[in-house]
A = this chain, B = another copy of it.
């Protein structure tokens, strides 16, 4: 697969631990597809302070999608103002010889820009199907599709991944050479997201 490297912008370039950054489309898409929830940052439309809201994310092509109530603060802010969506998945606890080198393994994406509100009915349907498929792939055709009223009270936004970067950490601890002889077990405790069997209602 070819890697489509996008140009760096000052705000997407990973500055802390730059070797952990990635900017190609395939990596960004793969990380996002593994992550259920994104944290959307915006300035409160009324009071101006930074606000971060967790919300289910989905993806179609190079757009990150999220939805909210048509009248939420998030919807109001996302109509025209700059936002930032940050999403991560925990992969492991990194246990080192020293307190300082304790860390986490993870995959994350951060995307900046102005979102586009999806208003065309067919595009709204497609986006909502992407959300349902994110929860259970292939579930879309089996459930009742959204009514006109439900579509109307749901605001759906697409944030282009044009200005996005991925960051990840993998592997064991990066201990100082002087610490290696200390009698402390070190390694990685893997973290996995376990989906159980459906509890029927």
Contacts and interface: CB of A to CB of B under 8 A. Distances in A.
A3 interface: no
Contact of A36 (B104, B195, B198): B104
Interface in A180-201: 182, 184-201
A96 interface: yes
Given A11-B47, A50-B50, A86-B52, A188 B193 contact: no
Q: How many copies does the complex hold?
A: 2
A192 B196 contact: yes
A99 interface: yes
A35 to B, nearest CB: 10
B99 A54 contact: no
The range of chain A's interface size is 35 or more
A198 B102 CA distance: 14
Nearest to A198: B187
Contact of A84 (B51, B102, B110): B51
B182 A144 contact: yes
Interface of A: 10-11, 15-16, 36-37, 39-44, 47, 49-54, 56, 68-69, 72-73, 82-86, 88, 90, 93, 95-100, 102, 104, 106, 108, 110, 112, 128-129, 131-132, 135-136, 139-140, 142-147, 150, 154, 172-173, 179, 182, 184-201
Given A11-B44, A37-B90, A50-B84, 5 more contacts: A41-B51, A98-B143, A98-B145, A99-B131, A100-B154
20 contacts: A15-B73, A16-B69, A39-B41, A39-B54, A43-B43, A49-B112, A52-B110, A53-B86, A93-B195, A97-B144, A98-B145, A98-B150, A99-B146, A104-B135, A143-B182, A144-B184, A173-B201, A189-B195, A189-B199, A194-B194
